[in-house]
Structure 1
Amino acid sequence: MELHIVINGRKDLAQQLYRQLRDAIEDGRLASGARLPPSRLLAEQLGISRKTVADTYAQLTYEDYLVGRIGSGTFVNARAATRVRSRFASELAEADFIRHWQDVPIPFRHPTLEGTLRYDFIGGATARSQFPHDDWRRCTQHALRQMASARGFYGQPEGVEALRQAIARHISFARGVRCTGDDVIVCSGAQQALDLLARVMLQPGSVVAMEDPGYTPARLLFGIQGAQVASIPVDAEGMRVDAIPDGTRLIYVTPSHQFPLGMPMSPARREALLQRARELGAIVIEDDYDSEFRYEGRPTDSLQSMDEHGVVAYVGTFSKTLLPELRLGYAILPGVLLEPLIKVKQITDWHSSTLPQWALAKFIDEGSLHKHIRRCHAVYSSRRERILARVAGDLAPWFDAVPAVAGAHMALLCKVPIDLPLLMEQARKVEVGLYPLAPFYHQQAPQSGLLLGFGAIETLDIDPALDRVRDILLRIA
């Protein structure tokens, strides 16, 4: 691979080379530790003398930009870039609008490996230690063989046919969803499914109704599409359907495990929601994000399985059952939306990566997904029980647990005034990650409490972590 250097004319060759190499190092385009081409090779590439290149290397070495290693070559020195690019160019016509994006929050941003705490109750994470790496590796090898037999064309925007069929079989069996593979669009996570639906359904000023508290990334997504988001309060039965305003065109709801509080939507409320959607001519987005993990009570029907009039778009994800990094989700759509969403997906990203699609199709069809869900269910159930026991025990003076019956997180509501920012700050100092409920509220008055994820924390780590939380509470509360 050639180093990108452009030499114009035959004047000031050494200065041209020096300036471009120095700028590339300061800008970070030539990273610390990058190896430069040998002087003879770069001279041939640029059509200049080797002496010009060697002299330029020597000057940059003298100035500490480069370092020579005998027998190895010339490398970029380990020094910080000195040039800071302007964040905003004042001459841009849309500078103010670009600056607006700086204020947009990024909820649920997970830490890097280096920033991970020893005990982390972060939501949206999975039990990595339970992931069947050997099974997935075998399925990935199968995927590579499938791709090797292809002709090198782009894939279909709706997804690999084998995976669409496998998803339809899985979700029909596990959740009673009425569909075939033809109704499925494979997406890069559930978030892309929401984005596609918003692009098709919404115009600037369109009204979207969603739960408050609710899934903040969905609210932000609808907002940047220009929608007016109507925040609908929730109670013990779920979304207050009677509060959905006239003119609503899209209704976003998490009926199986309300996010973030955790209660399921009652059957009567589900019927009322479907009736209200029909009255409004609205589409209901049913985000069934972690319905596979149910711990008590009878399974509830999905909204989609109750829908007789084609008003429900069912959205699911494999981020909660497998790994978030796979970025695989899906939408099961009413017929009227299927072709428009396929077209929008092709325009926006053509198709999701086919390698993990082929692997997941094999993983589902050979029964590995079902076995993995059962294994994780047992693990999550024990973690949930341990947390509930602690909340009912030595943490009882401070918290009540919302009686969530599914999922991999629960909400803890404060029984007494607690300085939550101070609690979280002190917890981080002892390697415990805690997260507040407040950011998930929009217009409703937030309840003071924590969202406690138990997907990522190991079972044996729960008691030591909660011991530290209890000790902090004894000092500050």
Structure 2
Amino acid sequence: MELHVVIEGTRGLADQIHGQLRDAIRSGRLAAGQQLPPSRLLADQLGVSRKTVAQAYSKLTLDRLIVSQVGAGTFVASRLPQRSRPLAQEDLAGSAVARHWQGVETPLRHPVPEARLRYEFIAGAVSRRLFPEAEWRQCALHGLRRSAALRGFYAEPEGLIELREAVSRHAGFSRGVDCRADDLVITSGAQQALDLVARVLIVPGAIVAMEEPGYPLARMLLEAQQAQVVPVPVDSEGLCVDQIPDGTRLIYTTPTHQFPLGMPMSAARRQALLARARELGAIVVEDDYDSEFRYEGSALEPLQTLDQWGLVAYIGTFSKSLSPELRLGYAIAPPALRTALVNAKHLCDWHTPTMLQWALARFMADGHLLKHIRRCHDVFSERRERLLARLAGDLSPWLEPLPAIAGYHMAVMLRQPLDALEVCQLSRRAEVGLYPLDDCYRNADHVPGLLVGFGAIEVEDIDPALDRVRTVLEQLTA
């Protein structure tokens, strides 16, 4: 690759080269530590004498912008002068919008590796050791080979037919969903699936009903689409359907494993929700994010299967069952929305990476996914039982878990008048990552509690971690 330098005329060549390289370094286009071409190579590239380039390099050295290392080459200096101040945000025509996005909170964000604590109870994360490295590596190589046939061309926005067929079989087998490959749109995670549904349905001011408490990233995404999000309370049977307001256009719910409290929506409440949606002409977004991991009770029919009127958009993800890093999910669209979702996906990012789609299709076809889920189920079940035993034992004076029949997180309420945020902050000082439920509530008035994930913590680490939490609670109530 040639270094981008433009020569004009035949005069002041060394000054031209010096000036362009100086500006490139100061602007950051040439980064600190980046190697520059040898003077002979750059001279040949520009059609000038080597002496001319050497003079330019000499001036840059005097400016302390480059350094030469004997036997290694010439490099941009690691310590550079301060760059000029860019245009201030208030000078931008879109400053109000930029300020809005700058102020958007990002709850449930996972910490970078260097910021992770010794004991992590963060929701949505899984132990690295559980990932099936060998099987996935084989399937990834298959994906690379199959992608070679499409190289140079874009793929279909709705996703590869091989993956859509595999997902439709999996969803029918493990989740009881009634769908065909043609109903599916492969997305970059469940978050994009929800974003696509919102894009094709929501206009500014549209009323969206959402569980309270609920998944904060869903609420914030819908609000970013300028929806009027109305919090609807949940009880032991799930979403309180009779409180969904008139004029609602979209209803977001997690009926299989309510996020974050954990209860499943009852059969009667499911029928009532579908009836209310039909009355309103509203689309129901059924976010089924982790139903493969169920520990108690019998499975209930998904809303999508019960739906007789084409009102349910079903969203699934492989972030919980395989890995969040893959960013693979899907939407099962009702007939009235499928073409709109495909077009929106096309405009959003054209399609999800085909290599990953081929790899996942092979991974599922070879039976690796079901085997992986069974293995993880046993691991998560053991962790859940250990966690519940401690919460019912020596931690019971302070903490009360809500029933967690599925997934790998649970809500834990505070029995005593404690500040959940303070509990989390003090626990972090003890190298234990706990997280408050506060972000899941739209309204400020709620019972304080914790969102406790057990996907990323090893079973042998649960007791040492909870011993530290107990010390924190004893100090706060002493």
Which TM-score tier does this pair reach, normalised by the shorter chain? over 0.9
Post-superposition Cα deviations, 1:304-345, rounded to whole Å, max 9, x if no partner, equal 111111111100000001111100000011111111111111
Closer, same or farther: CA 74–182 of 1 in aligned 2, 3 Å: same
AA aligned to 1:360 is L
Tell me, yes or no, if structure 1 residue 74 matches structure 2 residue 55: no
CA deviation after TM superposition for structure 1 residue 58, in Å: 2.5
- 2:376 and 2:84 map into 1 onto residues whose CA distance is 47
Tell me, yes or no, if structure 1 residue 126 matches structure 2 residue 96: no
Q: For 1:330, what is the secondary structure of its paired residue?
A: strand
AA aligned to 2:411 is A
Closer, same or farther: CA 28–431 of 1 in aligned 2, 3 Å: farther
Name 2:454's counterpart in structure 1.
454
Name 1:377's counterpart in structure 2.
377
Q: CA RMSD in A?
A: 1.7
- 1:48 and 1:425 map into 2 onto residues whose CA distance is 63
Tell me, yes or no, if structure 1 residue 93 matches structure 2 residue 129: no
Name 1:387's counterpart in structure 2.
387
Post-superposition Cα deviations, 1:267-294, rounded to whole Å, max 9, x if no partner, equal 1111110110000000000000011100
CA deviation after TM superposition for structure 1 residue 463, in Å: 1.1
Tell me, yes or no, if structure 1 residue 277 matches structure 2 residue 280: no
Post-superposition Cα deviations, 1:349-373, rounded to whole Å, max 9, x if no partner, equal 1110000100101111111000000
After TM superposition, the score normalised by the length of structure 1 is 0.96
Name 1:141's counterpart in structure 2.
141
Closer, same or farther: CA 453–81 of 1 in aligned 2, 3 Å: farther
Closer, same or farther: CA 118–357 of 1 in aligned 2, 3 Å: same
Name 1:58's counterpart in structure 2.
58
Q: After the TM superposition, which residues 171-210 of structure 1 pair with which residues of structure 2 at under 5 Å, given as runs? A: 171-210=171-210
* Contact residue 285 and residue 315 of structure 1 kept, 8 A: yes
Name 1:262's counterpart in structure 2.
262
Name 1:4's counterpart in structure 2.
4
Query: Bigger CA drift: 15-24 or 225-234?
Result: 15-24
Query: Bigger CA drift: 430-439 or 325-334?
Result: 430-439
CA deviation after TM superposition for structure 1 residue 60, in Å: 2.8
* Contact residue 65 and residue 80 of structure 2 kept, 8 A: no
CA deviation after TM superposition for structure 1 residue 74, in Å: 0.8
CA deviation after TM superposition for structure 1 residue 227, in Å: 1.0
* Contact residue 27 and residue 82 of structure 1 kept, 8 A: no
AA aligned to 1:363 is F
Once the two structures are aligned, what percentage of the paired residues are identical? 58
- 2:24 and 2:397 map into 1 onto residues whose CA distance is 59
AA aligned to 2:472 is I
* Contact residue 438 and residue 447 of structure 1 kept, 8 A: no
AA aligned to 1:242 is D
AA aligned to 2:126 is T
After TM superposition, the score normalised by the length of structure 2 is 0.96
* Contact residue 205 and residue 228 of structure 2 kept, 8 A: yes
* Contact residue 122 and residue 434 of structure 1 kept, 8 A: yes
- 2:377 and 2:87 map into 1 onto residues whose CA distance is 46
- 1:393 and 1:11 map into 2 onto residues whose CA distance is 85
- 1:212 and 1:80 map into 2 onto residues whose CA distance is 51
Name 2:429's counterpart in structure 1.
429
Q: After the TM superposition, which residues 323-472 of structure 1 pair with which residues of structure 2 at under 5 Å, given as runs? A: 323-443=323-443, 445-472=445-472
Query: Bigger CA drift: 401-410 or 150-159?
Result: 150-159
AA aligned to 1:315 is I
- 2:429 and 2:407 map into 1 onto residues whose CA distance is 28
* Contact residue 232 and residue 243 of structure 1 kept, 8 A: yes
Post-superposition Cα deviations, 1:141-199, rounded to whole Å, max 9, x if no partner, equal 11122122336321000001000000000000111111111111100000110011011
Query: Bigger CA drift: 384-393 or 70-79?
Result: 70-79
CA deviation after TM superposition for structure 1 residue 10, in Å: 4.5
Name 2:293's counterpart in structure 1.
293
CA deviation after TM superposition for structure 1 residue 245, in Å: 0.4
- 1:59 and 1:203 map into 2 onto residues whose CA distance is 58
AA aligned to 1:170 is H
Closer, same or farther: CA 212–5 of 1 in aligned 2, 3 Å: farther
Q: For 1:209, what is the secondary structure of its paired residue?
A: strand
AA aligned to 1:238 is G
Q: For 2:106, what is the secondary structure of its paired residue?
A: coil
Q: For 2:36, what is the secondary structure of its paired residue?
A: coil
* Contact residue 391 and residue 400 of structure 1 kept, 8 A: yes
CA deviation after TM superposition for structure 1 residue 222, in Å: 1.0
Q: For 2:229, what is the secondary structure of its paired residue?
A: strand
* Contact residue 123 and residue 452 of structure 1 kept, 8 A: yes
AA aligned to 2:401 is A
Name 1:237's counterpart in structure 2.
237
Query: Bigger CA drift: 37-46 or 459-468?
Result: 37-46
* Contact residue 28 and residue 81 of structure 1 kept, 8 A: no
Name 1:320's counterpart in structure 2.
320
Q: For 2:337, what is the secondary structure of its paired residue?
A: helix
* Contact residue 288 and residue 315 of structure 1 kept, 8 A: yes
CA deviation after TM superposition for structure 1 residue 8, in Å: 4.1
Aligned positions, number: 477
- 2:376 and 2:356 map into 1 onto residues whose CA distance is 21
Closer, same or farther: CA 13–213 of 1 in aligned 2, 3 Å: farther
Q: Give the unaligned 5+ runs of structure 2.
A: none
